[in-house]
Amino acid sequence: MEVHQFKIASRQSTDVDELRTLYRITNENLARIRKFGQCTIPVPDGVISDWYEWLETQPEYDRFLSEPDTVTRLKGLQRKYWEDFFNAEVDEGYVERRRKVGEAHARIGLPLNTYLAGMNMFLILFGPIPGPREWSDTERMEVQDAVGKLIHFDTAVVVETYNRLVEETLTAQSKSLMEMSTPVTQIWNGILLLPIVGIIDSRRARDIMNATLAKIDETQSRIFILDISGVGVVDTAVANHLIKITRATRLMGCESTISGVSPSIAQTVVDLGIDVGEVKTTATMEDALADAFQRVGLEITQKR
């Protein structure tokens, strides 16, 4: 039997002809699958039962298939899936139906390795089905080769769709978390404050800058306080990111103050030989706020 490499289509927009070429699925292959399908449609209950016996040994079974009604419903869907498979009408509709399978797996969070193992098990279970009596051993090998190609085709479409949706979900979650971690707040007319907690990398620094500049443009603020008391480590890269942020705000007419500069951070900056230039710093946020209020003409007095 010919060995096939597992490849995944790189674009959602890949058309059917390109996918068929990628997996070397010919019209002859599809004709053999249809002829074999005459012996397998409806899909033997023994194949489905054997597959579920195997599935029950997998750790994900109790998590996803503990309800009998769910198993009954899925058995029906699987029969329809394989009827579609052995009809072998591989067109845009066929590919779209496979993409919906990928979407369903992504929505419930089924691990891809379980899906791949399941498809491999079906391939094994279909192997002993004899096919038409008149077939020679060569013809049987050819149909097994054709079935393997189309299963790999199906699997690739499902996996590509699964990965795309998971990536979109992670990107949306990452964006939401980033927005939550960069809450640029207008604490007074003309004064913005952003406390940072955690690690600052290039991506986060870029998001901080974008959020800050957008807020400056929106509020026309003149003072921006960047509090880094919650930043655990300040190295050359982090310091340079902070300097770039303050320079960008200055270009928009907004002066920045970096507060929360601890003695250890100050010592680190000196030891690294980082030129902070004209960046204004304070030891505490309280000092930064007092300076900001004074610069906008406000005076803080203590009640007696």
Which domains occur in the chain, in start order? 16-178 (1.10.490.10), 185-295 (3.30.750.24)
The three-state secondary structure class of 3 is coil
Hey, what are 76's tokens?
């029906």
Q: Given a cut of 60, is residue 10 above it in pLDDT? A: no
User: What's the pLDDT score for residue 181?
Assistant: 58
Nearest to 234 by CA among 212, 208, 267: 267
Cβ atoms 106, 165 nearer than 8 A = yes
DSSP E strands in 141-222: the ranges are 185-188, 191-198
CB 252 within 8 A of CB 283: no
Of residues 158, 159, 210, 157, the one with CA closest to residue 181: 210
Mean pLDDT, to the nearest integer, of 277-290? 88
Mean pLDDT value across residues 86-99: 93
Per-residue pLDDT tens digits for 191-224:
999 998 877 778 788 888 998 999 999 999 999 9
Mean pLDDT of 228-256: 88
Average pLDDT, the chain: 83
pLDDT at position 11: 43
Distance CA 36, CA 129 (A): 9
What letter does residue 104 receive in the DSSP assignment? H
How far lies 199's CA from each of 112, 116, 174, 202, 205, in Å?
Answer: 31, 37, 15, 10, 10
Q: Decide if pLDDT at 183 tops 90.
A: no
